[in-house]
Structure 1
Amino acid sequence: MQHSFKIYITLLTLILTGTSACKKTQVSVNDAEEIVSPTTGTRSQFTLDSIFLYAKQVYLWNDALPSYAEFNPRQKYVGVGSDITTFRKELFDISQLKINVATGSPYELPVYFENPKYSNLQLGKSLPGTSAEVLNPGTAVLASKLIATGSVQVAYIALGSFPKLSTTKAALDEAFADLASANPKAIVIDLRSNGGGYLETAEYIANLIVPGSLNGKVMYSEVFNSAMQNGAVPILKHQPYLDANGKTTIYNGRNATMADVDYSVAGNTYKFSKKGNLQSIQSVYFIVSGNTASASEMLISALKPYFDVKLIGEKTYGKPVGFFGINIDQYSVYLSSFLIKNANGWSDYFTGMQPDVMIKGVDNPVLGDPDELCLNAAISLINGTRTLTASKLATTGRIANIKADLLQVNNVESVMLENRLRLRK
């Protein structure tokens, strides 16, 4: 599937001058709702309003949000602290309103103090032609090799992150071409340090793994809230839609905005389209840890309906949601905006994916070493010398816990970014 459009988000078109009282140009959530926020106030008050009003329409779990009058952000956050502390506090409170009935806790239960598990707010705005490209792309291919074990050839590849596809496609193609030369039936994909990145890149890797017989089969879908799916998100008219060169796009005789994007399930369902020459894979083994998140988990989920998939290592982070950036004044806000579902409709890994073989690895494993704990366990499963019922190990060493900065949006390794949103036809 070809995706010709890329998204870059620019500054919210509210007229804000200085820090004194000023007049707001946009005041209501939608045409059917009453005027919900004041038309005058300070710059900080308008930002508080905007964070809530955007969440009211764009947030994945917006059904849990009260009315503006009930939430009353201007009064609720008086005297909290600095502007950015106040805005992050507001976002945190919004993120805790939707409860996962399976756990009895918020879907965005914080990993560390008062920071949502998924949503984020950062100082700094996206400029035309940059947006998510300013993120540190990281390295995709950390190691790859063929491992001979008895009469079996096992493909192994360690993927450190999912940078923009344009920056890593050549390295991925080369690595998978080498692996394809031995026609391996099993592949071990090491994602223990991979916190995600661009969905487009994860999707491309999936297409390198699968056989051509899966062409046209559903890989995954991005599911937005019902208002987004129905195009009832007028607030996004304040977010311009720009092309890959950072230029405005004409839509129905005017400049396109993010309100013109197709957020339907059908318009955001991605299907397999085979890449490369690897056609022989029948089983997939993932080495994972608490640092395996977002687009990495999407890759695992997308392959589950079609392969014998096994996980080795430690429980994954648990992030089946993604977002695009929204700029409000001088801040970039990343609201959890869509849910990732695989071909079976599965998305319930908010608390992480449990390994089939539980192993605590060492901090700095030798990638591709057949004697390394996790890879050795995978090879043993492939050879049939290890059974899942007797596979839980307690070993020395550990895989480092997720650090606070893993959740920061300015690190591409912690996010699931969608940069291929398309305009409605």
Structure 2
Amino acid sequence: MRKFFYLFLVLLSGWMVSCKKDKQTTTPTLQPSKQGSTLDLIRDSIYLYAQEDYLWYDALPDYATFNPRSVTGSTDIKALTTEVDEISQYKINPSTGKPYEYYTPSPGEAKYSFIDDGTTSTQLNGTRGDFGLAPLYNQVNDLRIKYVYPGSPADLAGIKRGYQVTAINGNANIAYDGSSGTNVQFVINAFYNSNTITLTLKKPDATTITATVNVANYTSNPVLAYKVFDQGNGHKVGYVVFNSFTSDAIADAKLNTAFDYFNSNGVTDLVVDLRYNGGGYVSTAEYLSNLIVPAAKTGTVMYNTYFNDKLVSGKAPLLANQVRFDPTTKQSYNYGQFDYSVAGNVVKFSKVGSLNVNRVFFIVTGSTASAAELTINNLRPTMDVQFIGTTSYGKPVGFFDIDINKYQMYIPEFSTKNSGGQGDYYAGMTPGSTGFPGVMDYDDVTKDFGDPTEGLLAHALNFVKTGNYTAVAPQAQNASIGSDLRSFSISQSRDAALEMESHQFSGMIFNKKLKTK
């Protein structure tokens, strides 16, 4: 990718004239300048790109009022993150009275927007440089491994989902003490901000192991598990855990393997486990949607995309500086030359594979976000879609990356709605509520993926067999989680999970070449 940090200088004089014409009586004395430090220019660029391309640009104050160069931080990236956070809080969602990007665990931080140093694109293109595992609090005093990537350092060390973490680097003080608590911050730093970690782990058979794991690069497989269950009476359930919408080059072949297996085993019902899937590329979400959808829906609308009016009307000159290279056509193009209208971006179903099911169960949690939610929403008008788990993250918007110097800025530039006009699920999808049929229950992280006794999977298997979901304890429905129903509320669990997930990607990236005007 070609990168620019003097982006805001393009047509700058014209922009300033426009400001003067629009605000003749209140023309601000402070204007963008081509003079200043690199950080100054980057901060200006962030504001000006947001003023042009942000889905909710219309709520932003003028340059003088916002004054991007006044935003500071202990490091450059912290200053830029603070600026993006501030930009994200202006537009108010009338249904909640709070910003569209209101983030419950940390008010004032952006729920969707962020500044990245290139890590996101690297991970979504299949290369990860980490331990290959992630933690989750099952109870206040019960920290578990929630997943392990195949082939990762953690996998090679013999670590499995469901193992209980009893000590980290010799420290057993790891009980949940709030999203900003000393213990939680220690856990986060150990898992996400270090190159080596030593874990003391209790296995399901109560034996204990100690494993030291080092950060390393590996190619991730987003399909963590797949399996078929015979429920009798001609019903076979295909179960797949899909953990990230990585690029098609990585994900499609892995998905094909699982779905071909389902088809060859005569699967009649499908369970797609997206409980920890924070999203990724739109094109991969479309591919998974096409694997699941009934063949009869080919040619019908999958979803529509909505950009802001500046992009639709072609009033986005800064995007002309965002140049990309298409490896297929071997040609360069820029974001400013495309059609951003609704009609120009209709996506229709085109069935992939031979699996033919009329019902799909989606397992979701507060970590299920963006492209994962897009996939679910795409299918809601076309077939029987059931929801199992807890309320999803709530991100019906997406973005494309904007290069600014050595950084990439991700801010919502579009929203989506399915063929039934359903979208705007900013509060998430809540299983068992209106429009989201199913059952709400907690994530059973004590069991491995594919274990038929694991709580959320068991709901789907029982429904296929009996036509009913398994009973849920009233305490779990209303207030609490796990075996010690008094120790950890659903809201605490969600906040703890989101605090952990804030260190991982959550989003929906528009990675397709748009139609030219």
Question: Which range, TM-score by smaller chain?
Answer: 0.7 to 0.9
- Contact residue 315 and residue 355 of structure 1 kept, 8 A: yes
| Cα deviations by residue, 1:371-423 (Å, 9 ceiling, x for unpaired) | 22111111222233525997867252687743446345xx5x52211110324
Once the two structures are superposed, the pairs formed by residues 2-401 of structure 1 within 5 Å of their partners are 9-12=1-4, 14=6, 24=9, 27=12, 30=15, 33-34=18-19, 36-74=31-69, 76-77=70-71, 80-110=73-103, 111-112=105-106, 114-123=108-117, 133=125, 136=128, 138-151=220-233, 152-244=235-327, 248-249=331-332, 256-279=333-356, 281-356=357-432, 357-386=439-468, 394=476, 396=482, 401=496
Three-state SS of the structure 1 residue aligned to 2:33 is coil
Once the two structures are superposed, the pairs formed by residues 394-409 of structure 1 within 5 Å of their partners are 394=476, 396=482, 401-404=496-499, 406-407=501-502
Three-state SS of the structure 2 residue aligned to 1:242 is strand
Higher strand residue share: 2
| TM-superposed deviation, 1:292 | 0.8
| TM-superposed deviation, 1:295 | 0.8
Aligned residues: 396
Give me the whole-angstrom Cα distance separating, in 1, the residues matched to 2:475 and 2:223. Answer: 28
The structure-2 alpha-carbon separation of the partners of 1:353 and 1:61, relative to structure 1 and needing over 3 Å to count, comes to same
Give me the whole-angstrom Cα distance separating, in 2, the residues matched to 1:192 and 1:317. Answer: 10
User: Letter of the aligned partner of 1:10 in structure 2?
Assistant: R
Per mean C-alpha deviation after superposition, the further-off stretch among 184-193 and 299-308 is: 184-193
Structure 1: which 5+ runs fail to align? 1-8, 16-22, 250-255
Give me the whole-angstrom Cα distance separating, in 2, the residues matched to 1:105 and 1:192. Answer: 26
- Contact residue 389 and residue 441 of structure 2 kept, 8 A: yes
- Contact residue 28 and residue 37 of structure 1 kept, 8 A: no
- Contact residue 29 and residue 235 of structure 1 kept, 8 A: no
- Contact residue 146 and residue 153 of structure 1 kept, 8 A: yes
Three-state SS of the structure 1 residue aligned to 2:12 is coil
Q: Which has the larger radius of gyration?
A: 2
The percent identity for this pair of structures is 37
| Higher RCO (C-alpha 8 Å, min separation 6) | 1
| TM-superposed deviation, 1:327 | 1.3
| TM-superposed deviation, 1:64 | 0.9
Give me the whole-angstrom Cα distance separating, in 2, the residues matched to 1:206 and 1:391. Answer: 33
The structure-2 alpha-carbon separation of the partners of 1:54 and 1:204, relative to structure 1 and needing over 3 Å to count, comes to same
The structure-2 alpha-carbon separation of the partners of 1:84 and 1:29, relative to structure 1 and needing over 3 Å to count, comes to farther
User: Letter of the aligned partner of 2:326 in structure 1?
Assistant: D
User: Letter of the aligned partner of 2:49 in structure 1?
Assistant: Y
Give me the whole-angstrom Cα distance separating, in 2, the residues matched to 1:121 and 1:246. Answer: 29
Please state if 1:416 is matched with 2:416: no
The structure-2 alpha-carbon separation of the partners of 1:344 and 1:388, relative to structure 1 and needing over 3 Å to count, comes to farther
- Contact residue 124 and residue 245 of structure 2 kept, 8 A: no
Three-state SS of the structure 1 residue aligned to 2:374 is helix
Structure 2: which 5+ runs fail to align? 21-30, 129-218, 433-438
Give me the whole-angstrom Cα distance separating, in 1, the residues matched to 2:18 and 2:6. Answer: 20
Three-state SS of the structure 2 residue aligned to 1:232 is coil
Give me the whole-angstrom Cα distance separating, in 2, the residues matched to 1:389 and 1:348. Answer: 30
Give me the whole-angstrom Cα distance separating, in 1, the residues matched to 2:345 and 2:34. Answer: 36
| TM-superposed deviation, 1:123 | 3.5
User: TM-score, structure 2 length as denominator?
Assistant: 0.70
- Contact residue 118 and residue 407 of structure 1 kept, 8 A: no
The structure-2 alpha-carbon separation of the partners of 1:232 and 1:295, relative to structure 1 and needing over 3 Å to count, comes to same
User: Letter of the aligned partner of 2:109 in structure 1?
Assistant: N
- Contact residue 126 and residue 250 of structure 2 kept, 8 A: no
| TM-superposed deviation, 1:57 | 0.8
The structure-2 alpha-carbon separation of the partners of 1:352 and 1:283, relative to structure 1 and needing over 3 Å to count, comes to same
Give me the whole-angstrom Cα distance separating, in 2, the residues matched to 1:316 and 1:126. Answer: 21
Three-state SS of the structure 2 residue aligned to 1:34 is helix
Give me the whole-angstrom Cα distance separating, in 2, the residues matched to 1:116 and 1:135. Answer: 26
| TM-superposed deviation, 1:270 | 1.2
Give me the whole-angstrom Cα distance separating, in 2, the residues matched to 1:382 and 1:28. Answer: 65
Give me the whole-angstrom Cα distance separating, in 2, the residues matched to 1:86 and 1:216. Answer: 47
The structure-2 alpha-carbon separation of the partners of 1:25 and 1:371, relative to structure 1 and needing over 3 Å to count, comes to closer
User: Letter of the aligned partner of 1:414 in structure 2?
Assistant: S
Give me the whole-angstrom Cα distance separating, in 2, the residues matched to 1:246 and 1:135. Answer: 24
User: Letter of the aligned partner of 1:62 in structure 2?
Assistant: Y
| Cα deviations by residue, 1:302-333 (Å, 9 ceiling, x for unpaired) | 11111111111111111111111111122211
The structure-2 alpha-carbon separation of the partners of 1:70 and 1:31, relative to structure 1 and needing over 3 Å to count, comes to closer
Per mean C-alpha deviation after superposition, the further-off stretch among 268-277 and 65-74 is: 65-74
The structure-2 alpha-carbon separation of the partners of 1:100 and 1:157, relative to structure 1 and needing over 3 Å to count, comes to same
| Cα deviations by residue, 1:11-54 (Å, 9 ceiling, x for unpaired) | 12528xxxxxxx95652575972375224233222222111100
The structure-2 alpha-carbon separation of the partners of 1:125 and 1:277, relative to structure 1 and needing over 3 Å to count, comes to closer
Aligned partner of 2:134 in structure 1 is none
| TM-superposed deviation, 1:125 | 9.4
| Cα deviations by residue, 1:94-129 (Å, 9 ceiling, x for unpaired) | 1000111111111111243643100001245999xx
User: Letter of the aligned partner of 1:322 in structure 2?
Assistant: G
